[in-house]
A and B are shown apart, each in its own frame.
Chain A
Amino acid sequence: AQKITQTQPGMFVQEKEAVTLDCTYDTSDPSYGLFWYKQPSSGEMIFLIYQGSYDQQNATEGRYSLNFQKARKSANLVISASQLGDSAMYFCAMREGLGGNQFYFGTGTSLTVIP
């Protein structure tokens, strides 16, 4: 089974609108971390936001928030007030287990912000 599933290969959003990028994960380990990274066309991976499995509240970082629904095993990224510079690939990732090294990445979602 896929550890991380991103079902939206491509998304479009109007500038200044909010958009939700979906991510579901699969693990039986009670300790895990969930991450979102942005990859613009230049290729660099930019860390956006982190959610720990034991965190009680949803993570927020500026315009980014993570809608963490543990029972559903989902960790959707919400980008508010989209900007043209948000156009990029977005990857959801999971670190499984306490102190685990390996990141499991999803297949990514390509977001295009329309002026």
Chain B
Amino acid sequence: GAVVSQHPSWVICKSGTSVKIECRSLDFQATTMFWYRQFPKQSLMLMATSNEGSKATYEQGVEKDKFLINHASLTLSTLTVTSAHPEDSSFYICSARRDPSQETQYFGPGTRLLVL
């Protein structure tokens, strides 16, 4: 399968600070990446679709000014949680498809964010 990495795997920050999470496809180019959020013992919720070279597509209810997504290259997408608050504490996980014709999304290992 394809390899997707995320960095950092853990982050603890103070309320009001911004946190950047990186998602990289290591052995393939991904024109599209996806960002999910998962609360404890719950399912994954799609936050946004990250498109290389264009603006991200956000799901309903997701604040685009709070969750900034940048897909600067075919192997890197970043999610920045701006002015983080304790309610933003969650598990953030990205995924990518090896190419648009492929069905399977491959997931990164996730990033646990704790905002104090």
Contact = CB atoms under 8 A, between A and B. Distances in A.
Given A43-B93, A106-B43, A101 B109 contact: no
Interface residues of B, number: 22
Interface of A: 33, 35, 37, 42-47, 50, 52, 91, 95, 99, 101-103, 105-108
Contact of A91 (B43, B104, B106, B109): B43
B30 to A, nearest CB: 12
B45, B103, B106, B108 — most chain A CB neighbours (10 Å):
B103
21 contacts: A33-B103, A35-B104, A35-B105, A43-B112, A44-B107, A44-B109, A44-B110, A45-B44, A45-B93, A45-B95, A46-B107, A101-B34, A102-B46, A103-B34, A103-B44, A103-B46, A103-B95, A105-B45, A106-B43, A108-B42, A108-B43
